[in-house]
Structure 1
Amino acid sequence: MNRPVKILHVFARMNCGGAERRTLELMRAVDPGEIRMHFCVLSGLPGVLDHEIRAMGGEVHRLPLRQAGFGWAFRELLAREGYDVVHSHVHYPSGWVLRLAYQAGVARRIVHFRSDCDGRPDALARRIVRWGLQYLIDRYATDIVAVSRSAMERAWTPRWQADPRCRVIYNGLDLSRAPHPADVAQVWATRERLGILPEKPLCIHVANVRPPKNHERLLRIFRAVQERTAGAMLMLVGDTLDRTAWLAERLFSLGLGPSVRVLGRRDDVPDLLAASDVMIFPSLWEGLPGAVLESLAAGTPVAASALPCIAEISQFVPGVRAISLTESDQHWADVISAIMRPTIDDRMAVRQAFQGSPFDLEYHVGRMRELWLEARPIRRGRWLEKRRRTRAPSITVIKAESNERETAREGRSAA
């Protein structure tokens, strides 16, 4: 019997972000006798998901990226554990990670773009660093994956389809975790547990309180909803992190304190979404927002900022209304009021469309298994190929070529 493929996922920290939770859902879904997953966290800090990973037979290795000797420690970890695949989820810094994996002899080196930008200022110094990291990705990645077409085009290149290493794999959700839209009793039980009457118009937002999620605009939009829809309430679900004081001040200054429930991190998010009438999601940027997919899986409509990834979702699943962030808060409130309080039939239509879409967990697992298990030769990246076309390689470059790259080049020449 073949031994399982060993994969090392690289994250900053295993907290309850969308990418981290999606990867753990994959870990639950795959056969551990076929695929075994470990994690390396570059912050060096413990995360809330560490215990769950270990309970499923995984390991969490804490290696601070900024600590002296990181390169040596990371290569030593790869050699000691004998990983077959390094799968890096840390955007452009993945270039450095994959270079170390190449030096350690790891054959499969995957970069996974989870967002369409790195969220850093676009200053000259940052652009230089970004270019260098992109060069490393292009040279050392055997596979380049993104959670949406828009993420691939903006984070990598609009010409990604010409590169056989690139593929878009949408995140998938387990529909069995979302309450059935016809289960009204469960919806009422959730509301009763929260102390919210069934007739109350209930909005929800699921995201950690971070700048890209645009909570300032969210609260202003909800104030406009409340002015239009008497008795409306809002649930904020997600870690407040270090912005608890800011959030409390904004709720007080906008006069929203009594109407907003700050629930923090929760384990019953599917129930909360099913009990809500609408999701408000005015993010500044996203790769593929898991909270929007979770809301649709529960049959709850979404009013979201008009990002390219939102348009991609709406191609497969109804129930999403894309609104430009340049529109007024009153316009947002008008749209939200129009889609609020969906019927059971409306919810069922959204759920059924979700079940046959690329966002279903079974489809997602199949695509990821293909990615991890198939043998894929290492290819040159576009920057390296461009350099080879413009000048002859030096003796040093020729000597530095590995046998693996020579084999790949000979195969292309024969073709």
Structure 2
Amino acid sequence: MTGECRVLRVVGELNFGGTEMRTAELLPRLWAAGVQVHLATLSDRIGPGPLAGVVSRHGGTVTPIPLDFRFAARFLGLLRRLRPDVVHVDCANFSGVLLALAALRGVPVRVAHFRGDDNQHRDLRRRVYRWAFRRLLRVFATDILGVSPSSLAVAYDPRWHDDPRCRVVLNGLDLDRLRHPSQDDLRELIGARPADLVCVSVGRASPEKRRWLLPPILAELQARGVRAHAVLIGPGDDVDDERVRRAAAAVGLAERVHLLGPRDDVGGLLSQANVVVHPSCLEGLPGGVLEPVALGIGTVAADLPGVHFINEHLPGVTIVDTEAAPGQWANAVCVAATYTEQTSASTAAERFARSVFAIDTAVTTHLAIYRRWVSSRPHRPVPPGPPAFSTRGER
């Protein structure tokens, strides 16, 4: 099969993160509709990444292009070889640089996709960089997407409604993937007793995820007579992992904090949780909240616009103040656990299937954007290229 539309999607790295997982879930449906998606990653840390096999199975390639002094030449070389109809970039305001290069090569559809609220403090140098990159984006983007209204308002422009290129494109979630059972019995895996409360948190190890809040929350639950475990799922980081372990040791609960690392059976593990805790203070439309809610697992999350957006469309979210003390988180955990007890997986699935977050909605929107400018172009064969993925990067 050859693609009637060829897309180059650019992400930071193809790891087990929210952006990357949502991108991977779209691939089978886009491929079936005649859209061939190739990936470029900007990381020099993990090469093509653990999701490269998904890309290659659906007709694409993965090309790592580290951000060094040769980046522009390598990226232009990739564009010359692939001849994409669409360049779709998930790199916040830095997308402007990539879309300017794509315009230089004559790519007709140039999409910037904002995935987070990007509300962190910046020094003067970073503010200047952001201003310059955003100017490029305003000039060279044909479409500007956000996973939620707040991701466009905060990360791009508060007046995004006035820009006809802007639209909200929600992350589509593949519920069928989440329903796949895990081979592991989670309680047996972590040594939890039958009556113990199992709190799961899904997300990569980075400071804004605030995973180190889990041990103090467990301590507060312990003070209320609730014996609980924290299970952390997602790509690790030595510094962040050590901070979590120190926090667990400080409250005397090291044996009840479990760092499982990245898993490909997240849905099967989530379905065995009593509650999900998502303490992140920076998100767009958090998959770490949307996934458990889709499965009927009560979820506690910080007070962020993307969290409220999910809560407006689906039940099951208990929101606490971003700066709430561990005791307030513990109270919310008890509320969320009650929701889990009272909600069946089938009821939650029916709600989700009717919601705006169903993956078919996201596929339809992507196809409309990709095909708008290329529907009249003649069919072209797939250009010759490298193997499905290479660890050497673009030369």
Displacement after TM superposition at 1:337 (Å): 1.0
**1:202-249: per-residue Cα shift (whole Å, max 9, x none)?**
111111111110122233223212322422111111122222333322
The amino acid of 1:354's aligned partner reads F
Displacement after TM superposition at 1:278 (Å): 0.8
2:242 match: 245
Equivalent residue runs for 1:349-368 within 5 Å: 349-368=347-366
1:161 match: 161
Q: Which runs of 5+ in 2 are unaligned?
A: 375-395
Q: Which runs of 5+ in 1 are unaligned?
A: 377-415
**1:29-76: per-residue Cα shift (whole Å, max 9, x none)?**
22346100001112244122223322332101122222x232222122
The 2-side partners of 1:194 and 1:259 are apart by 8
Q: 1:118 to 1:108 in 2, by over 3 A?
A: farther
Higher mean displacement: 50-59 or 145-154: 50-59
Equivalent residue runs for 1:333-412 within 5 Å: 333-341=330-338, 342-343=340-341, 345=343, 347-375=345-373
- Alignment: residue pair count: 370
The amino acid of 1:335's aligned partner reads A
The amino acid of 2:204's aligned partner reads N
**1:130-178: per-residue Cα shift (whole Å, max 9, x none)?**
1000000000000000100111110111211111100101111112223
Q: 1:349 to 1:3 in 2, by over 3 A?
A: closer
2:131 match: 131
The amino acid of 1:160's aligned partner reads W
Aligned-residue RMSD, C-alpha: 2.3
Larger-Rg structure: 1
The 2-side partners of 1:332 and 1:311 are apart by 17
Q: 1:253 to 1:202 in 2, by over 3 A?
A: same
Choose the corresponding residue for 2:297, options 300, 319, 334.
300
Higher mean displacement: 268-277 or 338-347: 338-347
1:413 match: none
Q: 1:349 to 1:310 in 2, by over 3 A?
A: same
Q: 1:83 to 1:143 in 2, by over 3 A?
A: same
TM-score, with structure 2 as normaliser: 0.88
Q: Is the 8 A contact 2:204 2:236 kept in 1?
A: yes
Identity among equivalent positions (%) equals 34
Q: 1:165 to 1:229 in 2, by over 3 A?
A: farther
2:381 match: none
The amino acid of 2:53's aligned partner reads H
The amino acid of 1:332's aligned partner reads W
Choose the corresponding residue for 1:65, options 56, 67, 71.
67
1:11 match: 11
**1:93-143: per-residue Cα shift (whole Å, max 9, x none)?**
111000000000000000000111175x41111111110000000000000
Equivalent residue runs for 1:251-262 within 5 Å: 251-262=248-259
- RCO comparison, higher one (Cα < 8 Å, 6+): 2
Equivalent residue runs for 1:71-220 within 5 Å: 71-117=72-118, 119=120, 121-179=121-179, 189-192=185-188, 194-220=190-216
The amino acid of 2:123's aligned partner reads A
User: Secondary structure of 1:271's partner?
Assistant: helix
User: Secondary structure of 1:136's partner?
Assistant: helix
Equivalent residue runs for 1:308-347 within 5 Å: 308-341=305-338, 342-343=340-341, 345=343, 347=345
1:230 match: 226
**1:352-404: per-residue Cα shift (whole Å, max 9, x none)?**
2222111111112111111211239xxxxxxxxxxxxxxxxxxxxxxxxxxxx
Q: 1:79 to 1:213 in 2, by over 3 A?
A: same
Q: 1:76 to 1:344 in 2, by over 3 A?
A: same
Q: Is the 8 A contact 2:205 2:211 kept in 1?
A: yes
